[in-house]
Amino acid sequence: MSLSEKYDYFIFDLDGTIYRGEHLIPRADEVINHLKIIGKKIVFVSNKTTGTAKNYYYLLKNWGLNVAEDEIINSTIVVTNYLKRNFNSDKFFAIGEDSFIDEIEKSGLKFSTNTDEVKIVLVTLDRTLNYQKLEIAARALEDGAKFFAANIDDTCPVDNGEVIDAGSTISALEKRTHRKLELHFGKPSEFMFNEIKRRLQFIPEKTLLIGDRLETDITMGNRFGIDTALVSTGVKYFPNGTGNIVPTYQLNSVFDLLDQKA
């Protein structure tokens, strides 16, 4: 029996698994559409915050994938829900791009670069990162702001390699301020896992999580008792550095779900 036949619920990472940069992973659309046709339940989960769930929905639809917007979760959604419940109307500073900041502001918080009034520092992928942003964040943390992150990925896969992501920025701020990150909301956090459970309502032993990153995707599956499949289409894999994180299956790409034997 193939993996697509064995499991009833599928949790897919996006960047590096379904697409990379601006290009769809070859035949990923066939896989998703086949799973839908045979009645499987799917959710897509991304730590990337440079677009909204609606943006990712249109991206996937334009590539021909049969998806619904409520099947897409990114860490912006998870952190926004937490902040609305616990810090509504507080001032925040974010190392992040405009799309991320806009979504946080919609939750009721107010963006500020005045370190005296910033109550929360948020870190995520920011391709416009500069020294000034790092220093604003550092000074706010030194003044006692909460230290949160939307995700902890060290790098993000792009067409020609990888770019620096939140994990590298977090490390720099921790060394600069001698503060430790307090909470993060992407994979492999319990916050993200609870949002997945709310959307998918899956049975763990009938669920497969597919991703390209050991320390987020595979770790989350292992932590919460879900089988995992590691694909080689995303970030570079360094086996010596992550030997204690072992996936259930290793695949060349998501297309192997259709013929890889369970």
Q: What is the average pLDDT score of the chain?
A: 93
Q: Which domains are seen in the chain, by residue range?
A: 3-74+187-258 (3.40.50.1000), 76-184 (3.40.50.1000)
Give the pLDDT confidence score for residue 194 in this predicted structure: 97
β-sheet bridge partners, residue 146: 120
Give the pLDDT confidence score for residue 119 in this predicted structure: 97
Helix axes 166-177, 131-142, angle to 10 degrees: 50
β-sheet bridge partners, residue 191: none
3-state SS record for 92-137: EEEECCHHHHHHHHHCCCEECCCCCCCCEEEECCCCCCCHHHHHHH
Task: Map residue 240 onto helix, strand or coil.
Answer: helix
pLDDT per residue as tens digits for the range 110-130: 999 999 999 999 999 999 999
202: left (phi over 0), alpha (psi -120 to 50) or beta: beta
- From CA 19, how far away is CA 23, in angstroms rounded? 6
Give the pLDDT confidence score for residue 96 in this predicted structure: 96
How many helices (H) and strands (E) the chain has is answered by 9, 15
pLDDT per residue as tens digits for the range 20-56: 988 999 999 999 999 999 999 999 999 999 999 999 9
Give the pLDDT confidence score for residue 159 in this predicted structure: 76
- From CA 209, how far away is CA 101, in angstroms rounded? 29
**Looking at residue 143, what DSSP letter applies?**
T
- Minimal CA–CA distance to 78: which of 147, 148, 31? 148
Range of weakest confidence among 112-116, 240-244, 250-254? 240-244
pLDDT per residue as tens digits for the range 169-211: 999 999 999 999 999 999 999 999 999 999 999 999 999 999 9
Note every long-range contact of 64-68, with CB atoms under 8 Å and residues 24 or more positions apart, other chains counting.
64/29, 64/33, 65/18, 65/28, 65/29, 65/32, 65/33, 66/32, 66/33, 66/36, 67/32, 67/42
Whose structure tokens read 């909470």?
183
Whose structure tokens read 């921790």?
174
Contact 80, 53 (CB under 8 A): no
pLDDT category of residue 237 using cuts at 50, 70 and 90? low
Mean pLDDT of 208-231: 96
- From CA 80, how far away is CA 165, in angstroms rounded? 19
Give the pLDDT confidence score for residue 160 in this predicted structure: 76
pLDDT per residue as tens digits for the range 143-163: 999 999 999 998 888 777 788
Mean pLDDT of 62-74: 97
| Amino acid of residue 216 | T
pLDDT category of residue 239 using cuts at 50, 70 and 90? low
Q: Calculate ∠ Cα 228-200-107, nearest 5°.
A: 110
Helices (H), the chain: 3-6, 28-37, 53-62, 75-86, 98-106, 131-142, 166-177, 190-200, 219-223
